[in-house]
Amino acid sequence: MDIKKIIDDSSRYLMNTYQRMPIVLRKGRGVRVWTADDREFLDFVGGIAVNVLGHCHPKVVVAIQKQAQRLIHVSNLYHIEPQVRLARLLVEHSFAGKVFFCNSGAEANEGAIKLARKYAMDRSGPGKYGIITALNSFHGRTFGSLSATGQVKFQKGFEPMLEGFTYVPFGDADALKSAVKADRTCAVLLEPIQAEGGIRIPEPDYFKKVREICDSAGALLILDEVQTGMGRTGELFAYKHFGIRPDIMTLAKGLGGGVPIGAVLSTEEVAGAFVPGTHASTFGGNPLVCAAAVATLQTILEDNQYLLEHCRRMGKHLSETLGGLKTEFPELVKEVRGLGLLQGMELSIPCAPVVKACMERGLLVNCTAENVLRFLPALIVQESDIDHAAVILSDVLKRLP
């Protein structure tokens, strides 16, 4: 295989929308991937929180193989058995009463925005369409989800954004209360943890206050769990850490264990705003992706949810290990923060050179918010993997100019 040609052809034929690392990944197993020239890497990016069971988990692979032999795609004009199984599992293990399937997190957030506005329109008329989101948030790159995103750098060049969105500081319940208007606000849309925004976690009582504010104003609470859902934080869904229940929740990333699927979950009452013709997705919830998602979810839930407990233990070990690096490099590492296996290390310098140096030594990590290293290993990661990653990272930090 001509690796240079692949990289050259990538530049020639693909739109230049990604800062790609100069490697060609060809194979993955568990928490490791291999390049086309057989270089091995410890993967702490995980497809950006997608590969929750690691690469090519046997149960997901077998589910895809069996379903591909049986039926790959049919329209949602017909009932789809794997889709029904997946919806039932999600409802049985969450607050929700109904589910809508789509193809990505951005699409899920688009669906949630539409559902909230339709629900408010049906009950309050055309004036109650405002949606409050948080500064530093990230909800996707379609126009609705981009308009909801509270970061100008993602919106630049695509103005004007859709009207009706207002942004407040994340974690500031007083600011939110001032922004919510009973006659104009239909929903509040927040991430339980701002992942793309630098692994920002609010105070423990913040979401209880948010829930009360929404209830007082007759506004829906939408939680974007695209990155925090599917066990990533040590609970199946992150809202369970905060003792509240949303009205709408969005999922994607880890839901399919590696294949593209998104979902909008809502209470039975709110779901009633969608009727035939109001929303749809040609590929949403097709048999192949739903079979993979069923296998993923069942694996997370089996053995008395052993994987979730394992995630909590490994998350604690990862946090403590990164904390040790903070002690070792106090001038470079400003803070370590996170929940479960969603951890961030804020540096005093831009982290792009650190990401590159880690890759050169066999560790794949990710940079977000310019100076925060983000760690997203699979739920199956072991202590030895975390320790190996820490050795590489320590060596990189030690050699920085």
**Three-state secondary structure string covering 131-158:** EEEEECCCCCCCHHHHHHCECHHHHCCC
* Residue ranges of domains in the chain, CATH in brackets: 3-57+305-398 (3.90.1150.10), 58-299 (3.40.640.10)
Q: Which residue has the tokens 């993602």?
A: 154
Say which DSSP state 162 is in.
Answer: P
Find tokens 């009452």 and name the residue.
269
pLDDT tens per residue, range 373-382: 999 999 999 9
Q: How far apart are CA 239 and CA 48, in angstroms?
A: 20
CA 60/CA 296 separation, integer angstroms:
6
Q: Tell me the helix, strand and coil percentages in the chain, rounded to 5.
A: 40, 20, 40
What DSSP string runs through 16-32? S-S---S--EEEEEBTE
Share the mean pLDDT of the chain: 97
CA 256 – CA 292 distance, rounded (Å): 6
**pLDDT class for 401, splitting at 50, 70, 90?**
confident
Cα distances (Å, whole numbers) of residue 1 to 8, 22, 24, 38, 247: 13, 15, 10, 11, 50
Give the single-character DSSP code of 257: B
pLDDT in tens, 123-169: 999 999 999 999 999 999 999 999 999 999 999 999 999 999 999 99
Contact 100/90 with Cβ under 8 angstroms? no
